[in-house]
Amino acid sequence: MILVSIRHQVKADPTKFSGKKSKAAAKKGPGAYQYEILQKSDIPCDQIPAFRAPSHWLGYFPPLAVRDMKAMGCGVDWRRSFITTDVNPYYDSFVQWQFNTLKKIGKVVKDKR
């Protein structure tokens, strides 16, 4: 005698979130504090206090991103690169203008989750 088990699969509603973690817990990552996250990123403990200054982040991570993208084989023209923060007010205002222009003509919309 052969027994066959048939499971009735209930299809989940794709519009409903079914995760067991809260949004904040899901985004938390492996470290509880920024200090721990920087340690896990192989940044020496004596250099971590320098990350209190936002400008230090802007000087530290972009070269690492360039290095990693080159290692992945990305073909990028690095002669013109920009940091889109208020550190570069001319470029920042251009990005804001461009975004607002696209939003006005309906190319950028806020959608429901």
Give a yes or no: residue 42 inside a domain: yes
Give a yes or no: residue 111 inside a domain: no
Domain count along the chain: 1
pTM for this structure? 0.53
DSSP code for 32: S
Tokens read off for 43: 């940044």
Domain that residue 70 falls in: 27-104
Give a yes or no: residue 4 inside a domain: no
Which pLDDT band holds residue 47 (cuts at 50, 70, 90)? very high
Q: Which of 19, 32, 70 is nearest to 40 (CA)?
A: 32
Say whether pLDDT at 104 is over 90.
yes
Tokens read off for 27: 């985004």
Q: What is the residue whose two structure tokens read 């088990």?
A: 5
Give a yes or no: residue 76 inside a domain: yes
